[in-house]
Amino acid sequence: MKFDKIHNKGKARIFKNKYLEMLTKTHPLIIWSIYIPIISYLLYYSSNRLSFSAIKIFLIFLTGIFSWTLFEYIAHRYIFHWKSRNVKVQKFIYMLHGHHHHYPRDKERLIMPPIPSITISFLLFSLLYLLIKQYAFMFFPGFILGYLLYASMHYAIHAWPPPFRWMKPLWNNHNIHHYSNEHCDKRQYSGNENRRGW
């Protein structure tokens, strides 16, 4: 994604319709309040209704958390930054993730809003249930918690300066992704490029 200018102030306009536009914005606490009851219930269901042992629930739940990291890497690298000459694909990618690179400090769009989030989650759980049957009741909550932790850290990186000195490299690396070269491999980054942000 290339922009003439990356805006540190203001907000992208995704839809002309003000009601649709309103549905593209949210705060992390809203998403946490939606998913914590779902996570809790699915783990309860795994234990009390499906009679899985605590250790099995914990291990599959943990696998779900770590699986989120792999999924996020693949999605970010190959979908969110997909280059295409097709105008419709370009618009879809902008709506999905491009607006975030165009307006990286837009705090209302740092986490997936409720309607698309719940829709994608339902489809994901359905797919997991088809693939791994009852294990989905333990894996899915871990996967979603992995997402919530990642999204909250991502929100913090864009919204605030690092709270501890040892966290500054994480903030800097993410700013490199946004301001120096969004496609760069951090291992190849020399550190001499001009850094913006924190």
Axis-axis angle for helices 54-75, 28-48 (nearest 10): 140
Q: How confident is the model at residue 181 (pLDDT cuts 50, 70, 90)?
A: low
Identify the burial level of 133 via C-beta atoms within 10 angstroms of its C-beta, where 0-12 means exposed, 13-18 middle and 19 or more buried: exposed
CA distance 177 to 142: 27
- Average pLDDT (112-122) is 95
- Average pLDDT (125-149) is 98
Percent of the chain clearing pLDDT 90 (strictly above): 54
Q: How confident is the model at residue 150 (pLDDT cuts 50, 70, 90)?
A: very high
Please state the pTM of the whole predicted model. 0.83
| Confidence (pLDDT) at 198 | 37
Query: Considering only CA atoms, which of 183, 191, 152, 164 is closest in space to residue 78?
Result: 183
